[in-house]
Amino acid sequence: MAKVTVDQIRQRLDAIDGRRRHYEQKSREPGRLRLHEVWRHTYLAHPYLLGAPDERVAERFKSIFMNVNELSGEGKLSLVPMEVTDEYMQVFTHLLEEYGTRRNGHPPDEVIAEARLPLLKYFEDGTPLGVRMFEGYDLPNTPILVKYGQRQFMEPMFERGELRVANAGLYNDAGFLDAVRDDETSRTFFIPTFRERLAGETHLEIAGHRQPFDDDDIVLPLVFDDYFLFSLCEHVHYRMPTDFRADAAIVIRDPELFKQRLISAFLARHSDWKPMAGSVIYYDPYRDYTKFRVPEMAKHFGYAYQKEVRIVFRSPRKLLSPLEPVNLTIGPMKDYADLVAVPR
């Protein structure tokens, strides 16, 4: 990964300071700043990506691009409405300002093309898979959970309650799809160092430990023990069947009953493990250093569009051997869930 030199930082900072002064001057004029200009000034006042390598900025662009778009039940792509969240439009605007200081002044064409690829996959076979799957299904108007998967696994889960609770380390497998694969036993943060590099410094003191850096920001991994994990989504999301190569889904109309049965079945085997359940907290590795306290319930913000709900189990002691997936039976789900599948 190509690093960023002090000369590059100095040149970029000069451009950013000029833009920042422009918006500060404009803010004193009648009409003041528009919303996107407020976001731009926020970044220019603290350009946290200034010293980041091009490759990391490109990965961030792709992560954010996945989250500013959504797929509707009519099979149309659109921007996530501002009234739902403006979080990703803000950081997307920050990225545009950062790219404005770099070569060509805009995101490279190849980065944009790579960011669009996952969205284009939804339409490879015409109408998106998720739209076809839920066509004609009346969505409940009460809280639900949704489990996506292949019919051969969803049918036994629905009919008899047979399911597998995987260990989190299993998701590191390179054979998984991009939407599934993740390092679930570590959380990585990046700490900007461009001002320290300009000052000729070579390390930062963090929590009493010296963290050296070269021509890069500090990369700070938080590593923790393996645990058990069962993932669902908090609602019907029409992108998920394509992302997970799923041809079926179970819509759970009584989430609390399902969680109670799964947790009880697991604790019947491992009574001293600690269960936790809830919505995943999605964190920005450059900005959210204190957003979560339970790492098992947190995930990189690139996956935020999945709106995951998870049930996890943490060991009460240090693991002495690798974990293996656990097969459980929680009983038939027909009384409180629906099985939905793509027509054969």
For helices 54-68 and 109-120, what crossing angle results, to 10°?
A: 40
- Return the pLDDT at 330: 98
Is pTM, for the whole model, over 0.95? no
- Return the pLDDT at 162: 98
DSSP string, 214-276: SSS-EEEEEE----EEEEEESS--TTHHHHTT-SEEEEES-HHHHHHHHHHHHHTT-TTSEEE
Which tens digit of pLDDT belongs to each residue from 234-283? 999 999 999 999 999 999 999 999 999 999 999 999 999 999 999 999 99
- Return the pLDDT at 176: 42
- Return the pLDDT at 177: 47
Tell me the C-alpha distance between 196 and 199, whole Å: 5
Cα angle, residue 223 at apex, residues 221 and 227 outer, rounded to 5°? 145
What type of residue is 10? R
- Return the pLDDT at 1: 66
Which tens digit of pLDDT belongs to each residue from 82-121? 999 999 999 999 999 999 999 888 999 999 999 999 999 9
Mention every residue, 6+ apart, whose C-beta is less than 8 A from residue 185: 168, 169, 172, 223, 224, 225, 226, 227
Show the low-confidence residues of the chain (pLDDT under 70): 1-2, 173-182
